[in-house]
Copies of this chain bind each other. A is one copy, B any other.
Amino acid sequence: MPNEMERLLDVIRGRGAKTVGLQFPVGLRPRAVELAEDLERRAGVTCLIAADPSFGACDVPEMPVDLTVHLGHAPMPHLRYRNVFFYDLPTPLPESWTFLDAAIPLLPKRVGLLTTTQHREWVQPIIEHLRGKGIEAIASPPDRRVAYAAQVLGCDYFAATNIADRVDGFLYVGTGDFHPLGVAIILRDKPVVIADPSTGEARTLDEVRDRVVRQRWGAIVRAQDARTFGILVSKKVGQDRGALAADLKARLEAKGRAALIFHMDLVAPELLEGYGIDAWVSTACPRIAIEDYLRYAQPILTPQELEIVLGERTWEDYAFDEIRA
């Protein structure tokens, strides 16, 4: 990572920073010690490695340092970060496009391309490669919460909804189900295909989507008789929806339910035990309710799912939770 390190050293010198904080997602932990040692040696600073994991550019806590270096996520354009250097770590272009070719039989002729920050330099080469195979792929321009073309977050599907009327399906290039899952649920008439460069395999998201939809229905049914709701509000800068929580509390109380607001950093099942709450509503990262559902003793809903419980929204009008700026 030579160029990015030079850019960082320039910023450290320019600001006269003596202390530098380093924030990593879990997957980059193996590089933390080497980067910190390198920085301390070359810049003469003292590093503070943040051991609280970072889950995204929504999650950039202030540190008691002159400069915070955040790795693995692109800044969200609508957020203001103070003294944060986003250390860019794009994944180099792959040696071959076989993982992409594996997806081609599953794709319609017009697809929307979706991916994550680290693959953003792949977007144009992928479009060109697919064009050579007779598939027209398009990429949405960025938006207030996504900094790059085609970038999708687990809580922001602008890159899909923005071009939905111009495509017959979506191709997600990346690992895991969560980023494109919301797209598969929001735009249920358009197939979503995953091409995974880490495994080399391609697959549709139909099965996962159907299982998650069944689980969400189960969560809503389980919450119908809840007397006391706990509404979760995150401390994380890009996940804090305190005003929404206050609104949900008022709407619950107007319908004769009790509701209390819980304020926390990391959301985890063991932190919610012992309160006697019947059902949770998470206004934090949508991933918590959807992906970690089975780990919680009580049903845990998104705000839109609570609206179904309250009779304010129909199941047919189900909406995936997004955090909009």
Closest to A37 in B: B258
For the complex, what is the distance from the CA of A102 to the CA of B267, rounded to whole Å?
A: 43
A319 located at the interface, meaning its Cβ lies under 8 Å from any Cβ of chain B in the complex: no
Task: Say whether B276 contacts A33, CB under 8 Å.
Answer: yes
For the complex, what is the distance from the CA of A230 to the CA of B263, rounded to whole Å?
A: 30
Closest to A240 in B: B64
Of B53, B267, B275, which is within 8 A of A30 by CB?
B275
Interface of A is mostly: mixed
Stretch from A44-52, A110-118, A156-164 contacting the other chain: A44-52
Q: How does the 8 Å CB contact mask read for A84-116 relative to B, with 1 for contact and 0 for none? A: 000000000000000000000000000000000
Interface size class of A (residues with CB under 8 A): 35 or more
A126 located at the interface, meaning its Cβ lies under 8 Å from any Cβ of chain B in the complex: no
A261 located at the interface, meaning its Cβ lies under 8 Å from any Cβ of chain B in the complex: yes
Using a CB-CB cutoff of 8 Å, which residues 3-35 of chain A contact chain B? Answer: 21, 26, 29-30, 32-33
A242 contact set on B, CB distance < 8 A: 64
A246 contact set on B, CB distance < 8 A: 46
Using a CB-CB cutoff of 8 Å, which residues 236-261 of chain A contact chain B? Answer: 242, 246, 249, 258, 260-261
Residue contacts A-B, CB under 8 angstroms, 28 given: A21-B263, A29-B273, A29-B275, A30-B274, A32-B275, A33-B228, A36-B260, A46-B249, A46-B261, A47-B260, A47-B261, A48-B262, A48-B263, A49-B275, A50-B263, A50-B264, A51-B232, A51-B262, A51-B264, A51-B267, A52-B264, A52-B266, A52-B271, A53-B271, A63-B263, A64-B242, A64-B263, A265-B265
> What residues of chain A have their CB less than 8 Å away from a CB belonging to chain B?
21, 26, 29-30, 32-33, 36-37, 46-53, 63-64, 228, 230, 232-233, 242, 246, 249, 258, 260-267, 271-277
